[in-house]
């Protein structure tokens, strides 16, 4: 039977039921129901005794007899109560609806198997609306030992479409279509990856014959799901690589060599060298680079960006860096301007607050090619900004820019410029593979030498005085301190008040002229922000009171203390970013996480993780586990959220295997045209055509 047929082709499904299933569970074709997998299983081999019951509110199964029944009148309606006994004791079964029919159908003093959720009320155990089956019938039927439980909705349950009925539909469906289920992977492939066949997998995922077979069914279906997603992402990358050519930066010229040999302020770390090599390989080969550069906070991405830009300039191109905020763009500009101070390479800054006259100058020097490096914010995307020949666009913290904005930069050229996306928010490898599977990924996984780990502690608000004393000691030594407040959109007014109150109390505790304080928050004008930032950067102020506007990228090596107020309200990656603002110089640095006493268990885990590790990748993994992939930046556009069975967090080993399998396959058969891969090709194109999980990644 064709799996595209509607559900009404299944014995027992009426039009009304079909439209209910479609409306509530989005199941409309046979294929949908076949791939509607149970979310858990009940072990029907386990039987309880009444005397052993404990109040844990779980589903239980018992064998016993109904010895008496009575109907009890209530204010509204009535209920049927049955006394159920086994050889160890008795309990109640209760029905609130349909009990006339039930009363008639139950056989007194006859062995039944009953099943349902255990309730404990007024010292008595009971089960409401149990499933009941005569022991003699139960013995006759061949039962699946692990019984599937499907997710459902209140409307379905209220309409009488119970899990038992749903189970029946799936059973009927399997009987009707089983013989015709097509294999979606070639036999040698299944042998190589030790996968059971599709029929077996589908049968055992719904009605497992044993826990072992269930595990193998899950393995097969998860592998298949992840394999085809990877295949899709990798093919997309392959096609893009073949179709889109990039500019070639053939020579390592004057600017690169001079800077590298004479002006590089430090030796590159091995990780920086490796990443540069990866970039040079891309840009030297007619390929179009589309690379994600992940580096933990302070790992030294800026220098890699600069060397890449010098390579572009040596080959006659211009280069640009786009940052998400004015503060960041300015900082990149200052850092690069400083690094290039002994070189003859022009660099400018363009942001929303660049004055009209300067703006004009920038526009024309960009068009005539005399301006080589332009750094800026979204302002770079305005139509007036026209490069003569943009060779590379470096995008910092890309998740703040939409995909549409990214491609807007492409339109400025005959060929698309190379793209290097830099992020200091590490994305766990597994997620990066799924979300950015079509990008190449480079990782700077090593910090520059001599960095001391930031000592991190968690303190309750009541310890604030000793925190202030500690700040004083550090300032005494000539260091600077950040004090950060949350600013979360929904409660902006309150947060703003907290910030201002905090500022006042810090001003009282740290009075001028002994102490100078800067304050930076989102409501300030850009130039005021910049002015305050600069005072702190120059060391004129010792304390920077700020909201998370300083979260990413701010680089003041002399700042050695980061105090985070209400730290329980921050996400893990935000805390990690904030901590990354200190520990950038040679001094021992500290991060103090202040919080109230009342902490949710998730908040506790976050703070504890911060205290225990400073490895951004480990922190990202914990974050992913706590929040799930849906909340991690960039995942919204990908297929990982629509997975039917696999889980990007828990199924990492399967994902890795599936990805390697897809890579190996494409190496041997990039177009999937070899006869032995016909089955894969057929499944692949069916999946690509199908809506849902596949539409948004194709």
Ligand X SMILES: Nc1ncnc2c1ncn2[C@@H]1O[C@H](COP(=O)(O)OP(=O)(O)OP(=O)(O)O)[C@@H](O)[C@H]1O
Question: Which parts of this chain interact with ligand X (CB under 6 A)?
Answer: 266, 268-269, 272, 295, 297-303, 424, 448, 553, 555, 557, 580, 584
First to last CA, the chain: 28
Q: CB of residue 448 vs ligand X: minimum separation in angstroms?
A: 3
Q: CB of residue 250 vs ligand X: minimum separation in angstroms?
A: 27
Q: CB of residue 673 vs ligand X: minimum separation in angstroms?
A: 43
Are the C-beta atoms of residues 281 and 275 closer than 8 Å to each other?
no
- With CB atoms as reference, the residue minimizing the distance to ligand X is 300
Phi and psi angles of residue 683, each rounded to the nearest 5 degrees, phi first: -60, -45
Q: CB of residue 447 vs ligand X: minimum separation in angstroms?
A: 8
CA dihedral 460, 465, 466, 468 (to 10 degrees): 110
Rounded to the nearest 10 degrees, the angle between the axes of helix 198-206 and helix 211-243 is 130
Of 335 and 641, CB closest to ligand X: 335
Tokens encoding 559: 């700042």
Rg (CA), the chain: 32
Rounded to the nearest 10 degrees, the angle between the axes of helix 678-689 and helix 211-243 is 80
Segment (H or E) for 606: helix 601-612
CA distance to 47, 49, 64, 120, per residue, from 53 (Å): 11, 7, 14, 10
Q: CB of residue 522 vs ligand X: minimum separation in angstroms?
A: 20
Of 229 and 297, CB closest to ligand X: 297
Of 63 and 335, CB closest to ligand X: 335
Q: CB of residue 440 vs ligand X: minimum separation in angstroms?
A: 18
Of 295 and 634, CB closest to ligand X: 295
Q: CB of residue 554 vs ligand X: minimum separation in angstroms?
A: 8
Q: CB of residue 327 vs ligand X: minimum separation in angstroms?
A: 12
Of 165 and 335, CB closest to ligand X: 335
Tokens encoding 141: 């039927």
Pairing between β-strand 111-121 and β-strand 124-128 as defined by DSSP bridges? antiparallel
Of 32 and 623, CB closest to ligand X: 623
Of 10 and 447, CB closest to ligand X: 447
**DSSP characters for 13-80?**
--HHHHHHHHHHH---BHHHHHT---SEEEETT--B-GGG--S---EEEEEEEEEEEEEEE-SSSEEE
Of 448 and 539, CB closest to ligand X: 448
Tokens encoding 135: 């022991």
Of 539 and 557, CB closest to ligand X: 557
Q: CB of residue 269 vs ligand X: minimum separation in angstroms?
A: 5
Is the preceding omega at residue 44 within 30 degrees of 0, hence cis? no
CA distance to 389, 495, 578, 583, 591, per residue, from 458 (Å): 51, 21, 15, 17, 9
């Amino acid at each position: 039977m064709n799996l595209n047929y509607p559900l009404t082709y299944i014995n027992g499904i009426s039009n009304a039921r079909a439209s209910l299933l479609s409306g509530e569970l989005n199941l409309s074709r046979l294929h949908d129901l076949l791939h509607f997998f149970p979310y858990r299983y009940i072990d029907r081999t386990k039987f309880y005794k009444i005397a052993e019951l404990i109040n844990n509110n779980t589903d239980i199964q018992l064998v016993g007899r109904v010895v008496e029944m009575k109907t009890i009148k209530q204010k509204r309606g009535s209920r049927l109560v049955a006394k159920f006994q086994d050889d160890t004791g008795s309990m109640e079964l209760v029905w609130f609806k349909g009990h006339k029919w039930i009363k008639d159908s139950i056989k007194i003093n006859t062995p039944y198997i009953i099943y349902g959720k255990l309730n404990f009320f007024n010292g008595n155990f009971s089960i409401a609306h149990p499933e009941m089956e005569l022991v003699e019938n139960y013995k006759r039927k061949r039962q699946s030992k692990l019984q599937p439980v499907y997710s459902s909705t209140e409307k379905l349950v209220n309409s009488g479409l119970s899990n038992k009925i749903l189970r029946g539909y799936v059973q009927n469906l399997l009987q009707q279509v089983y013989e015709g289920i097509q294999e979606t992977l070639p036999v040698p492939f299944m042998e190589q990856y030790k996968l059971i066949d599709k029929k077996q997998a589908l049968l055992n995922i719904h009605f497992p014959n044993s826990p072992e077979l269930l595990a193998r069914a899950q393995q097969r279906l998860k592998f298949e799901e992840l394999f085809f997603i990877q295949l899709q992402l990798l093919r997309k990358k392959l096609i893009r690589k073949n179709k889109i050519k990039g500019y070639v930066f053939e020579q390592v010229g004057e600017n690169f060599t001079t800077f590298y040999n004479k002006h590089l302020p430090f030796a590159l770390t091995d990780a920086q060298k490796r990443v540069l090599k990866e970039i040079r390989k891309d840009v030297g080969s007619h390929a179009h680079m589309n690379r994600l550069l992940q580096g933990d906070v302070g790992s030294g991405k800026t220098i890699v960006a600069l060397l890449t830009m010098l390579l572009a300039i040596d080959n006659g191109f211009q280069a640009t860096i786009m940052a998400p905020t004015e503060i960041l763009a300015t900082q990149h500009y200052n850092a690069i301007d400083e690094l290039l101070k002994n070189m003859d390479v022009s660099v400018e800054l363009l942001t929303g607050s660049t004055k009209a006259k300067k703006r004009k100058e920038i526009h024309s020097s960009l068009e005539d090619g005399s301006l080589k490096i332009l750094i800026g914010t979204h302002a770079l995307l305005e139509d007036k900004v026209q490069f003569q020949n943009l060779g590379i666009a470096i995008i910092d913290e890309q998740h703040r820019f939409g995909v549409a904005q990214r491609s807007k930069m492409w339109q400025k050229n005959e060929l698309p410029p190379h793209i290097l996306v830099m992020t200091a928010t590490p994305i766990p490898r597994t997620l990066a593979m799924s979300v950015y599977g079509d990008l190449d990924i480079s990782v700077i996984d090593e910090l520059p030498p001599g960095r001391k780990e930031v000592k991190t502690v968690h303190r309750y608000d009541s310890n604030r005085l000793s925190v202030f004393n500690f700040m004083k000691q550090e300032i005494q030594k000539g260091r600077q301190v950040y004090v950060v407040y949350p600013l979360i959109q929904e409660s902006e007014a309150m947060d703003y008040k907290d910030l201002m109150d905090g500022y006042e109390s810090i001003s009282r505790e740290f009075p001028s002229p002994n102490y100078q304080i800067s304050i930076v928050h989102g409501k300030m004008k850009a130039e005021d922000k910049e002015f305050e930032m600069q005072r702190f950067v120059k060391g004129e102020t010792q304390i920077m009171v700020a909201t998370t506007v300083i979260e990413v990228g701010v680089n003041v090596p002399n700042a050695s203390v980061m105090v985070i107020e209400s730290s329980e309200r921050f996400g893990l990656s935000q805390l990690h970013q904030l901590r990354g603002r200190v520990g950038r110089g040679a001094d021992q640095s500290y991060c103090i996480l202040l919080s109230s006493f009342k902490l949710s268990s998730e908040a506790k885990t976050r703070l504890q993780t911060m205290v225990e590790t400073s490895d951004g990748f480990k922190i990202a993994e914990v974050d992913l586990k706590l929040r799930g992939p849906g909340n991690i930046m960039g995942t919204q556009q990908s297929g990982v959220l629509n997975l039917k069975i696999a889980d990007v967090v828990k199924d990492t080993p399967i994902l890795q295997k599936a990805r390697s399998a897809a890579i190996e396959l494409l190496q041997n058969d990039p177009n999937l045209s070899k006869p032995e891969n016909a089955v894969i090709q057929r499944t692949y194109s069916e999946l690509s055509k199908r809506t849902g999980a596949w539409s948004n990644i194709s």
